[in-house]
Chains A and B, each alone.
Chain A
């Protein structure tokens, strides 16, 4: 129904912009990762040194694994917190559904920085939690290990990404025709059996999507580790930031970033496959 000119008019400008300011930069990242730094200058000599470095030095691998481990825990906790809430919201919230839904999206759009900062004030040595514990005489001295630990990072990131997990699960549950639940009960299945045999499998695409969000977003996080992580909570993005900053080794930084990018894109690819496979609408 739309003319050639119309289609060209809506396609060419965004395509050109996106190619210039997204695709070209990503390609530059790719190119940089094969370049080198000599005496503080970036030289365009194509080589694999950066990748060799990545493989050779334990710090990169260890940090990448730590980041993945932190992200995996965040994902798990966010699922454990989010799934039952989404289930309650979709099936049992009744008239309050709308209100509860808003309560989920509000934290989603409330400043990331504000929320990470809130945890810093709570978990610090003289923070709200420690002084409260002492006030009620649960502890005599501040618990030092609350802040500046992987625990603080996982806690904060779980707080931040739980709404991201709730929303897609909730959406996939909303798409489950309610007559399937009735059909299952009609065929003799109790509510618990119905949950495990019908609702749980049909909400799998939402779970995959939510888990992907939580994992990918927390994997690439660099503020929470700096703010709350301490030396033992450093993540892969922090390495990238320091390579682009103080260390001034853009090519190596680009190589690390590219590894992240490949990891993220392949995760998305797998998640998309799984979602397609498990969605039946």
Chain B
């Protein structure tokens, strides 16, 4: 369509609708951020008395920082577990045939779509059966296992873009499978793997439903916040939310850049859809 023809057809409603939906998506977050600087607390309009007090209180809040530390620890180990099993799972789905492969694929991807509490309480039953004490380790187990799905989809997408002839050339030139994997396959998947790691890390930092059942004595950050929310709300929570938002924003933008470099175009949604 030429630009002139397109302009004539384009409805005036669509841009307005788009702007309204973006407002709906962003205004609550903006409100949250604004009120983290509000001297008079969470409510009240208009916001007045700009203050950094809530951030000062937040930085002195030891429970929050302990929770942050726990969350970082959990997220780091969750990344390791999810990648350790997610990368081979993607390779298996791409290039191996075995009985039950279709079932395996569905099973791996199930936590992506299944309500988190089902995965969480199922694991709780296993942990209970094995008489393991609930701790950060059980949360790591839960996050790592549930997020294999993310590692698998991301790496599988990377594999789809990989030219199989490169690996064949490597084998032809005398490299064995192991050497080919390290020298050709893995470097080609680098961006997909970094992207997956980032995504898993972010999702784990934010996870509640699975953690809810597997939590021991030590809180993760979302559960710490959750516990406080149930007691009442303070602008300190706005402050910590603002910081979380800033970190997720950075993570997303980095992930998106990697994605564009790895894929050249926007396919993430298509893979998320790829349940079957």
B269 touches A100 (CB 8 A): no
**Which chain B residue shows the least CB distance to A237?**
B117
Docked Cα-Cα span, A241 to B125, in Å, equals 14
B266 touches A28 (CB 8 A): no
Among the listed A110, A190, A244, which residue makes an inter-chain contact with B121, where contact means beta carbons less than 8 Å apart?
A244
Contact partners of A109 in chain B: CB under 8 A: 199, 202-203, 248, 251-252, 255
Among the listed A106, A119, A220, A226, which residue makes an inter-chain contact with B116, where contact means beta carbons less than 8 Å apart?
A220
B257 to chain A, nearest CB (A): 10
A114 touches B244 (CB 8 A): yes
B269 touches A170 (CB 8 A): yes
**Which chain A residue shows the least CB distance to B247?**
A111
A162 touches B28 (CB 8 A): no
Contact partners of A50 in chain B: CB under 8 A: none
Among the listed A17, A32, A111, A135, which residue makes an inter-chain contact with B145, where contact means beta carbons less than 8 Å apart?
A17
A115 and B28 in contact (CB under 8 A), knowing A217-B115, A244-B213? yes
Contact partners of A49 in chain B: CB under 8 A: none
A168 and B273 in contact (CB under 8 A), knowing A1-B164, A1-B168, A112-B208? yes
B15 contacts the other chain (Cβ, under 8 Å)? yes
Docked Cα-Cα span, A145 to B53, in Å, equals 32
A18 and B21 in contact (CB under 8 A), knowing A10-B92, A111-B244? no
Docked Cα-Cα span, A132 to B104, in Å, equals 53
B113 touches A268 (CB 8 A): yes
Q: Would you list which residues of chain A between 245 and 281 have a CB under 8 Å from chain B?
A: 250, 253-254, 257, 260-261, 264, 268, 271-272, 275-276
Docked Cα-Cα span, A90 to B13, in Å, equals 15
Contact partners of B226 in chain A: CB under 8 A: 113, 223
A171 and B267 in contact (CB under 8 A), knowing A111-B206, A111-B244, A128-B43? yes
Docked Cα-Cα span, A150 to B225, in Å, equals 23
A171 touches B248 (CB 8 A): no
Contact partners of A170 in chain B: CB under 8 A: 266, 269
Docked Cα-Cα span, A216 to B248, in Å, equals 24
Give the total of B residues in contact with A, Cβ under 8 Å: 99
Q: Would you list which residues of chain B between 91 and 128 have a CB under 8 Å from chain A?
A: 91-92, 95-98, 104, 107-108, 110-111, 113-119, 121-126
Contact partners of A14 in chain B: CB under 8 A: 85-86, 88-89, 92, 108, 148
Q: Would you list which residues of chain B between 8 and 50 have a CB under 8 Å from chain A?
A: 9-10, 13-15, 17-18, 21-22, 24-26, 28-29, 31-32, 35, 42-46
A182 and B1 in contact (CB under 8 A), knowing A115-B29, A261-B114? yes
Docked Cα-Cα span, A14 to B98, in Å, equals 13
Quick check: which of A51-59, A77-85, A196-204 contacts chain B, the rest being far away?
A: A77-85
A25 touches B123 (CB 8 A): yes
**Which chain B residue shows the least CB distance to A11?**
B92
Docked Cα-Cα span, A103 to B19, in Å, equals 11
Quick check: which of B56-64, B72-80, B233-241 contacts chain A, the rest being far away?
A: B233-241
**Which chain B residue shows the least CB distance to A129?**
B45
B229 to chain A, nearest CB (A): 6
B129 contacts the other chain (Cβ, under 8 Å)? yes
**Which chain A residue shows the least CB distance to B47?**
A128
B161 to chain A, nearest CB (A): 16
B110 touches A22 (CB 8 A): yes
B183 contacts the other chain (Cβ, under 8 Å)? no
Among the listed B32, B89, B113, which residue makes an inter-chain contact with A217, where contact means beta carbons less than 8 Å apart?
B113
Contact partners of B91 in chain A: CB under 8 A: 10
A101 touches B43 (CB 8 A): no
A118 contacts the other chain (Cβ, under 8 Å)? yes
Docked Cα-Cα span, A11 to B91, in Å, equals 8
Q: Would you list which residues of chain B between 175 and 223 have a CB under 8 Å from chain A?
A: 177, 199, 202-203, 205-206, 208-209, 212-213, 222
**Which chain A residue shows the least CB distance to B207?**
A112
B266 touches A171 (CB 8 A): yes
B231 contacts the other chain (Cβ, under 8 Å)? no
B69 contacts the other chain (Cβ, under 8 Å)? no
A257 and B121 in contact (CB under 8 A), knowing A82-B21, A110-B245? yes
Contact partners of A191 in chain B: CB under 8 A: 9
B29 to chain A, nearest CB (A): 6
B14 to chain A, nearest CB (A): 4
Among the listed A25, A85, A171, A244, which residue makes an inter-chain contact with B18, where contact means beta carbons less than 8 Å apart?
A85
User: A85-B17, A109-B252 are known contacts; what are 4 more A-B pairs with Cβ within 8 Å?
Assistant: A10-B89, A11-B98, A115-B29, A226-B230
20 sampled A-B residue pairs with Cβ under 8 A: A1-B164, A10-B96, A17-B85, A17-B148, A18-B89, A22-B108, A28-B122, A88-B14, A105-B268, A109-B251, A110-B245, A117-B233, A124-B233, A130-B43, A168-B273, A171-B266, A220-B114, A237-B117, A261-B118, A268-B113
Instruction: List B residues at the A interface (Cβ < 8 Å).
Output: 1, 6, 9-10, 13-15, 17-18, 21-22, 24-26, 28-29, 31-32, 35, 42-46, 84-86, 88-89, 91-92, 95-98, 104, 107-108, 110-111, 113-119, 121-126, 129, 141, 145, 148, 164, 167-168, 171, 177, 199, 202-203, 205-206, 208-209, 212-213, 222, 225-226, 229-230, 233, 237-238, 241, 244-245, 248-249, 251-253, 255-256, 265-270, 272-273, 275-276
